[in-house]
Structure 1
Amino acid sequence: MFRGGAHEYPALFYYRENAERKNSAVINTNPSKAMRFRTKFVMTAAFSTLFAAVVGNFFRISVLENKEYQTMANNQHFGSISISAHRGSIYDANGYAFAKSATVYKIFVDPQMFREDMKTLQKRIDKRNTDKANGTYTPVYDEDGKEMNVLPASAEEFKEQAANFIANRLNITSESIKKAIDEDSRYHEFNRQIEKAAADEIAAYFDEMGFVSVGCKEDTKRYYPQNELAAQVVGFTYGGGAYGVEASYNKYLSGTDGRTVSAVDSHGKELPYRYSKTFEPKDGSDVYLTIDREIQYILEKNLETMSKDSGVKNRSCAILMNPQTGAVYGMATYPSFNLNEPFELSSDMLLNRVFVENKIDNPTEKDIEQYTPEARERQWRNKCVSERYEPGSVFKVITAASALEEKAIDIDKFSYCCNGFELLPDGEREKRINCHKTDGHGVETFQKALTDSCNPSFMAIGKALGKEKFHEYFESFGFLEKTGIDLYAEAKGDIPPLESTPESKAMTHIDLAYSSFGQCETVTPIELITACSAVVNGGYLLQPYVVDKVVDTDGNIVLKNERKVRRQVISEDTSEKMRNAMEKVVIDNLSGNVNIKGYAIGGKSGTSQRLSEYANIMTDNDEENERIQEYGASYMCFTPAGHPDLILLVLADMPYNYDGLYYGSKVAVPCAGNIMEEVLDYLDKSPEYSELELQNLDIAVPMLKGLSIDEAEKTLDGMGVKHEKFGSGIEVVEQSPQTGKYIAKDGCVYLYTEKGNTNDLVMVPDLSYCTPALANETLATYGLNFVAKNIAGSDESAVVESQSIEPGKMVQRGTTVEVKFKVQQFDD
């Protein structure tokens, strides 16, 4: 009977109790063994992981990052000093140096060794003093009887003298020298470059005292032999390549610096400088420009004259290039600056411009100090590539080419009647846009519209092209992108977009009207001349360049720039039509274009309001102030018209703005004419005369001296040249003009048959404002010959602009006076 409890079943209870104790013992023993096992496992895993990490880190340090740690180790054992490489030279197209690096020297001192030298010197001084006191001192004299190896009174005195000596040669303070000498270091370099003569003088000074702690090392210094010529193109170095070609070709010019490596002791201090190894630098490569020094000078000289005569306020610039290749022969900005003194403002022009923009009428010394850095930055900037402006009527070339290519107009059938203005709807009002000819041009064909530079006619052409196509060609001609010229800081053009953006409103029909004659968009000069090159070279948009080649120190050409076509914008046929049209612009309008006898030239002038300077030409009432309105006067021309290999763009930014003196035809055309005339002469381009020019071609005077008078007269009669004889001799002993000189077809040659009467002098008259006929007649009256220097001499409305011999000068009878004419200027 089951009752429960232990007392009823003592044996069973005993067995169960002992079994539980035994199990309890097993349970109490097993946890200790398991723990030891887990501990061993964890420790083994930890040590394995740590070992793997150590091995991995060792592999990383010794293999993967070996060079980095080797460098760190070397830096703890070695000190190094950089040795500047000679920077490559920059040459013009003919090998004339624009920039060169010359060898100069830097002085250095080992301060710790200097103190050792001081101790040695003091011992020598003490010995000398002792010898003098004992009467055993024997001085040594040179051949001139001067005592040699003279020691100072003390080492400290020499230290003072040495500090003053170095300071005087380096043009720094003696305090800075003494501070360097007292440094706790093994090397201090003075940041001053000196010529070899001064370096040798310093070396000799310390050698005489037996000092080995002062020495010199070779360095380089940049020189610009042409000073201000092509300054904005060449650029200058300022802590490396800075501005111009110096910056854009820095990786070629800079070379690779060398190093002098010296050991250091266990405390990280450099051992004496003589315990070192030098790794020679690799000099930079030379850069050869497409720029021709003589052409560059011609550009800059004429820009200066134009800028001063026309009171230009925001700099002038000019670019001459080959439209077939993109090679730039000349690129000038006026005023330039001296590359050897780049931090000096060469002119007050830009500083005054900064004052105008900041509305400062009476600048103080504080204003000058504050704004000079900004003016200096502008001085360094290449206006041809870095600044935008409204192109004005020169852009009509682009509008016309686009419309012809797109067949938006028929060149033979286009007709528009200009009444002097055009009214365009502008909301509830009408916008009036005027032509420069207030009473209008009347009926205009395409050619006449281009020649007359008629704004309303080109608004009609722009409208026929349409906003989308106009925008498409604006982009295709490269105005929304950089040209890619090999110069830094290039800007790009701008025009209202087809669709509104957060920054700009969409182009309107009024914007299109203004853009068609170059007044709503902005472009850079390099963009415009590159686009115009595409118009006349067959339609190919090229990448312009100013560097021809780069040559390394071994004479290998490491880079060569050549013609690079970006795309074809218009067809060969359209290009030919545009060349013909622009040549006719010059022929039909001598007054507003460059015309040179014997050269077929095409061209287009332009005048624009500088609307991008809008904030600076408004009154406080936000009304346009005509008194301070600013303009851009420009001119583009090319030659020979049939297949041009020269194209020129001249820009005068903000000339005098009164009495119509700001027009491109009055400001930029004379400058461009002088440039073209001088460049063609310099390049020895042979003239090719037109039929009109051949009819009035000047005659070269033949060799008559030594002929009998009968032979001389027969020769001249055969040429249809008038002549006069002086004297009763039978042989020509003198002639005037001399052989090879030119005279007009109705000129006269004077023949002298007696030596006693050859000194026949006459006075040159003043021909100012004479017409061609009157100038010829006046000179003939004085016994002088006449030659018209330009084709404008065939225009009866022309007047004398200049004469080759100044009025009042006495010259030989028969002398030829070259006369340059100008026609009544027209406003573009």
Structure 2
Amino acid sequence: MINTNPSKTMKFRTKFVMTAVFSVLFVAVAANFFKISVLDNKKYQDMANNQHFASMAVSAHRGSIYDSKGVVFAKSATVYTVFVDPKQFNADVKSLQNRIDKRNLDKASGKYVPKFDEEGNELDVLPASAEEFVAKATEFISIKLEIAQSKFTAAINAEGQYRELKGKVEKATVDEINEYFSDMGFISIGYNEDTKRYYPQDDLAASVVGYTNGNVFYGIEASYNKYLSGVDGRTISAKDSHGNALPYKYSKTYDPQDGSDVYLTIDREIQYILEKYLKEMTEENYVKNRSCAILMNPKTGAILGMAQYPSFNLNDPRELNGDMLINKVYTEKNIYSPTEKEKEDAEAEAVERQLRNKCVSERYEPGSVFKIITAASTLEEKTIDTDTWSHYCSGVETFKDGQRDLQIHCHKLPPGHGMRTFQQALTDSCNPAFMELGKLLGIEKFHSYFEAFGFAEETGIDLPAEAVGDIPPIEETEGRKAMTHIDLAYSAFGQCETVTPIELITACSAAINGGYLLQPYVVDKVVDGDGNIVMKNERTVRRQVISEDTSAKIREALRTVVVDNPSGNVDIKGYAIGGKSGTSERRSEPEVVRNLNDNSVTEGNSLEYGASYICFTPADDPELILLVLADMPDNSPGAYYGSKCAVPCAENMLKEILPYLGMSPEYNEDELKNRDINVPLLTGASIDDAKKTLDEMGIRHVEIGNGIEVVEQSPQTGKAISKDGCVYLYTEKYTESEKMVKVPYLIGCSPEVANQSIYLYELNYTAKGVVSSQSGSYVKKQSYEAGTYVPKGTTIELEFETDTFTD
């Protein structure tokens, strides 16, 4: 049927289209409303809150760091951020000018009556104009906050209500600023409480404690940040429609939660002793790549001291301490006449190295100290019978290296050590003997013990940026060749692998503590603000590497090393000490690699060395283990051995640390016969009583004068003398010149000659270092310079050594 009403059809179509369009628009609006009100609710709520609320953080106080006895290493103090409200500042300026104008009118009309304090000073004095005050205030703020005047000028002329002027401002300065502006009625200068980190011990234990400047962390400050940092609070305040903060009653403050305190296992006094003697060793031996030392309890893994030299000042950590590290960078990069850009880059790199904890983050070849690990592995595997095994050392071993013969030398060049038992090989540090022990273990077993002793993994110490030891792999990997029989020979005496100092002392602890590889730690506990212990470190066994029987044999063997060779070890009267020294070629260092590739190595020229020593006491049940490393000492011939550099340093450390820890000496019969004697108090006693006292102690004495009472004695009370020393008793007053004698030159003298000279000159002495009666020993140092005049009977300390041992 034909539609006879086209207008009606058109209207229907229009209505349909309009309905469809409105339906689509309604769905779109509804969907967008759902998205805004439901899906994106939090986003738009936050946007609304930002328009209606202002938020300001309230810093939490960072926890303190203490040593094991409660001495502060790091603490936070309250400081302030000073700011200005530009809008209010302009209102304050207008208000001040109005006060000045009114004051001037009152003065002109005679209505103003000035007020004075008790001393006659006028109160409420106003400047000539508000403009003058602003000029003076700008200068005042610039001086007090140490900022440019232009910064303050820009701040007070800025838009808005908040412009920061300076952070970390001390309270005294804030008080001065507050008083200055308050006197003029200004309320536009404000301050927010903040914290600042202080390090009262400056450079002591710097690499352990670490530092933070708010967003960069090192050391304990980094690894225990979650405990130290606490949780910041916040002040939320309402804003009006113009964005201005409403009065305080419309704000809410959420208090910060202060950080917890961290207590170290490190003792400040022990740390000081370590650093003192590291500095002395480093400077005396011209060390080029820093020195370090670790003192640990081998039974628990607790670190009692961890030091490096040079250190750095935690209150100014980016200041280089000397030229050592920047010179090392120049040497590595073969730079001799640096440009300004090279100087800048080298200094930046040197600063980063200075901040690095050498004990944890740097690797080196351990040298002969690693023979402890090879020996322990050998005994555990029973690859030899120590009662019958021996090896002949000719001073050199020859290995097939492809088509050529490679010779590996012992430190004792041909004719070498000769026939050596296991104990003699360890005592004499015979390289060929240990090459043979490595060969008997084989590559796979050697590798397995390298890993078992923890050298291929982090120790787990609670310090950041720990490095991991390295050794050629058993099988070839991408970019690395498999371990060869030559690599094994070098590794057996500590020359092919690299380790970190913390790995080495932890592994050696396992060798002597019953075989248990422990996790070392430098933090004892973490304590919150209420005194609750929220975290405590304790002895953690990672695994048992060797048996207790093997460990006991290693302790005995290392004790024998010291007894049979005191010249190359720490040997302190009254203490049973076991130890091993080491000297390694630092072939992994960039400059040495370059020189080796250039085939320009000559003895004492292009090679660099690592001189180290590790020792423990008591030898039968160790409570302390100490590692000392001088990295790249003077490489002149004979000057770079561990026995020459590290041993004297370790001995000096232990001589102070052992008494400090209350570890009393226990003398054996021979030591009792030869021990030094402390001179008693004799001044004021009758001469007869004084002589009787000395006779009973077996001390020789000489009476000077004709009196009946001792008016003076030499040496003084408490001074030590050798067993056959002499005490001089004065019964009459003598002038200083009458009592003085001249100190002889004793350097290079044998013990016998030194002894005769000392008593010929009416002096006393005590021996240090090598036992003075040991064959081949001679005087290396004397405590008083030759030609010096000292009182008769004065004790001269003689340091003996011998040239018969190298390592």
Q: Distance in 1 between matches of 2:502 and 2:355?
A: 17
Matches within 5 A, 1:132-151: 132-151=107-126
How much has 1:668 moved relative to structure 2? 1.3
Q: Distance in 2 between matches of 1:540 and 1:69?
A: 59
Q: Which residue does 2:280 correspond to in 1? A: 305
Q: Distance in 1 between matches of 2:235 and 2:130?
A: 30
Of the structure 1 ranges 543-552 and 698-707, higher mean CA displacement relative to structure 2 is found in 698-707
Q: Distance in 2 between matches of 1:569 and 1:511?
A: 23
Of the structure 1 ranges 130-139 and 755-764, higher mean CA displacement relative to structure 2 is found in 755-764
- C-alpha distance after superposition, 1:571-620 (max 9, x if no partner): 11111111111111111112211111111111111111111115545359
Q: Distance in 1 between matches of 2:698 and 2:112?
A: 102
How much has 1:40 moved relative to structure 2? 10
Of the structure 1 ranges 273-282 and 598-607, higher mean CA displacement relative to structure 2 is found in 273-282
Q: Which residue does 1:470 correspond to in 2? A: 446
Tell me which of 142, 145, 154 is aligned to 1:179: 154
- C-alpha distance after superposition, 1:208-245 (max 9, x if no partner): 11111112222221111111111111111122351111
Q: Which residue does 1:793 correspond to in 2? A: 772
Tell me which of 251, 257, 261 is aligned to 2:232: 257
Of the structure 1 ranges 427-436 and 101-110, higher mean CA displacement relative to structure 2 is found in 101-110
How much has 1:133 moved relative to structure 2? 4.5
Q: Distance in 1 between matches of 2:363 and 2:250?
A: 58
Q: Distance in 2 between matches of 1:301 and 1:386?
A: 22
How much has 1:546 moved relative to structure 2? 0.8
Answering whether residue 516 of structure 2 is matched by residue 537 of structure 1, we say no
Secondary structure at the residue paired with 2:277? helix
- C-alpha distance after superposition, 1:99-155 (max 9, x if no partner): 111222221222111122122122222223333444544443334443332323333
Query: Is the 8 Å Cα contact of residues 421 and 432 (structure 1) preserved in structure 2?
Result: yes
How much has 1:343 moved relative to structure 2? 1.5
Tell me which of 724, 736, 755 is aligned to 1:746: 724
Secondary structure at the residue paired with 1:660? coil
Q: Distance in 1 between matches of 2:97 and 2:696?
A: 100
How much has 1:90 moved relative to structure 2? 1.0
How much has 1:386 moved relative to structure 2? 0.4
Secondary structure at the residue paired with 1:239? coil
Residue 749 to residue 309, structure 1, CA distance change in 2 (3 Å): closer
Residue 206 to residue 651, structure 1, CA distance change in 2 (3 Å): same
Matches within 5 A, 1:409-424: 409-424=384-399
Tell me which of 390, 394, 402 is aligned to 2:369: 394
Answering whether residue 428 of structure 2 is matched by residue 452 of structure 1, we say yes
How much has 1:710 moved relative to structure 2? 5.8
Q: Which residue does 2:658 correspond to in 1? A: 680
Answering whether residue 574 of structure 2 is matched by residue 574 of structure 1, we say no
Of the structure 1 ranges 496-505 and 53-62, higher mean CA displacement relative to structure 2 is found in 53-62
Q: Distance in 2 between matches of 1:604 and 1:262?
A: 67
Aligned residues: 798
Of the structure 1 ranges 209-218 and 483-492, higher mean CA displacement relative to structure 2 is found in 209-218
Q: Distance in 1 between matches of 2:83 and 2:675?
A: 72
Of the structure 1 ranges 684-693 and 816-825, higher mean CA displacement relative to structure 2 is found in 816-825
Residue 758 to residue 619, structure 1, CA distance change in 2 (3 Å): closer
- C-alpha distance after superposition, 1:644-668 (max 9, x if no partner): 1111111111112122211111111
5+ residue gaps, structure 1, are 1-20
Q: Distance in 1 between matches of 2:325 and 2:97?
A: 60
Of the structure 1 ranges 509-518 and 785-794, higher mean CA displacement relative to structure 2 is found in 785-794
Query: Is the 8 Å Cα contact of residues 110 and 272 (structure 1) preserved in structure 2?
Result: no
Residue 272 to residue 802, structure 1, CA distance change in 2 (3 Å): farther
Q: Which residue does 2:601 correspond to in 1? A: 625
Q: TM-score, normalised by structure 2?
A: 0.92
Residue 455 to residue 736, structure 1, CA distance change in 2 (3 Å): same
- C-alpha distance after superposition, 1:375-395 (max 9, x if no partner): 110110001100111111111
Query: Is the 8 Å Cα contact of residues 170 and 194 (structure 1) preserved in structure 2?
Result: yes
Secondary structure at the residue paired with 1:82? strand
Residue 411 to residue 723, structure 1, CA distance change in 2 (3 Å): same
Tell me which of 576, 586, 597 is aligned to 1:600: 576
Query: Is the 8 Å Cα contact of residues 590 and 823 (structure 1) preserved in structure 2?
Result: no
Which letter maps to 1:369?
E
How much has 1:545 moved relative to structure 2? 0.7
Q: Distance in 1 between matches of 2:246 and 2:142?
A: 26
Residue 265 to residue 342, structure 1, CA distance change in 2 (3 Å): same
Q: TM-score, normalised by structure 1?
A: 0.89
How much has 1:370 moved relative to structure 2? 2.4
Tell me which of 610, 614, 626 is aligned to 1:636: 614
Of the structure 1 ranges 171-180 and 784-793, higher mean CA displacement relative to structure 2 is found in 784-793
Residue 213 to residue 699, structure 1, CA distance change in 2 (3 Å): closer
Matches within 5 A, 1:369-408: 369-408=344-383
Which letter maps to 1:442?
G
Which letter maps to 2:399?
L
Query: Is the 8 Å Cα contact of residues 516 and 543 (structure 2) preserved in structure 1?
Result: yes
Identity %: 62
How much has 1:778 moved relative to structure 2? 2.2
Which letter maps to 1:672?
A
Structure with the greater alpha carbon radius of gyration: 1
How much has 1:557 moved relative to structure 2? 1.1
Secondary structure at the residue paired with 1:628? coil
Residue 356 to residue 721, structure 1, CA distance change in 2 (3 Å): closer
Of the structure 1 ranges 176-185 and 443-452, higher mean CA displacement relative to structure 2 is found in 176-185
Q: Distance in 2 between matches of 1:119 and 1:258?
A: 36
How much has 1:315 moved relative to structure 2? 1.0
Q: Which residue does 2:267 correspond to in 1? A: 292
Q: Distance in 1 between matches of 2:135 and 2:706?
A: 91
Q: Distance in 2 between matches of 1:702 and 1:168?
A: 62
Query: Is the 8 Å Cα contact of residues 748 and 778 (structure 2) preserved in structure 1?
Result: yes
Of the structure 1 ranges 811-820 and 169-178, higher mean CA displacement relative to structure 2 is found in 811-820
Q: Distance in 1 between matches of 2:684 and 2:91?
A: 89
Matches within 5 A, 1:160-239: 160-239=135-214
Of the structure 1 ranges 743-752 and 251-260, higher mean CA displacement relative to structure 2 is found in 743-752
Q: Distance in 2 between matches of 1:620 and 1:499?
A: 25
Which letter maps to 2:152?
I
Query: Is the 8 Å Cα contact of residues 708 and 730 (structure 1) preserved in structure 2?
Result: yes
Residue 129 to residue 637, structure 1, CA distance change in 2 (3 Å): same
Q: Distance in 1 between matches of 2:592 and 2:58?
A: 50
Answering whether residue 49 of structure 2 is matched by residue 74 of structure 1, we say yes
Q: Which residue does 1:14 correspond to in 2? A: none
How much has 1:265 moved relative to structure 2? 2.0
Tell me which of 753, 772, 795 is aligned to 2:751: 772
Which letter maps to 2:757?
T
Q: Distance in 1 between matches of 2:339 and 2:248?
A: 53
Residue 154 to residue 750, structure 1, CA distance change in 2 (3 Å): closer
- C-alpha distance after superposition, 1:486-519 (max 9, x if no partner): 1001100011111111131111111111111111
Q: Distance in 1 between matches of 2:127 and 2:778?
A: 82
Residue 299 to residue 707, structure 1, CA distance change in 2 (3 Å): closer
Answering whether residue 747 of structure 2 is matched by residue 783 of structure 1, we say no
How much has 1:809 moved relative to structure 2? 5.2
Q: Distance in 1 between matches of 2:565 and 2:724?
A: 26
Secondary structure at the residue paired with 1:474? helix
Residue 777 to residue 116, structure 1, CA distance change in 2 (3 Å): same
Q: Distance in 2 between matches of 1:446 and 1:581?
A: 9
Query: Is the 8 Å Cα contact of residues 302 and 520 (structure 2) preserved in structure 1?
Result: yes
Query: Is the 8 Å Cα contact of residues 722 and 764 (structure 2) preserved in structure 1?
Result: yes
Q: Distance in 2 between matches of 1:274 and 1:377?
A: 49
How much has 1:758 moved relative to structure 2? 11
Q: Distance in 2 between matches of 1:56 and 1:647?
A: 67
Query: Is the 8 Å Cα contact of residues 780 and 799 (structure 2) preserved in structure 1?
Result: yes
Query: Is the 8 Å Cα contact of residues 771 and 796 (structure 1) preserved in structure 2?
Result: no
How much has 1:811 moved relative to structure 2? 4.9
How much has 1:803 moved relative to structure 2? 4.0
Q: Distance in 1 between matches of 2:498 and 2:549?
A: 28
Which letter maps to 2:50?
N
- C-alpha distance after superposition, 1:308-356 (max 9, x if no partner): 1111111111111111111111111111111111121111111111111
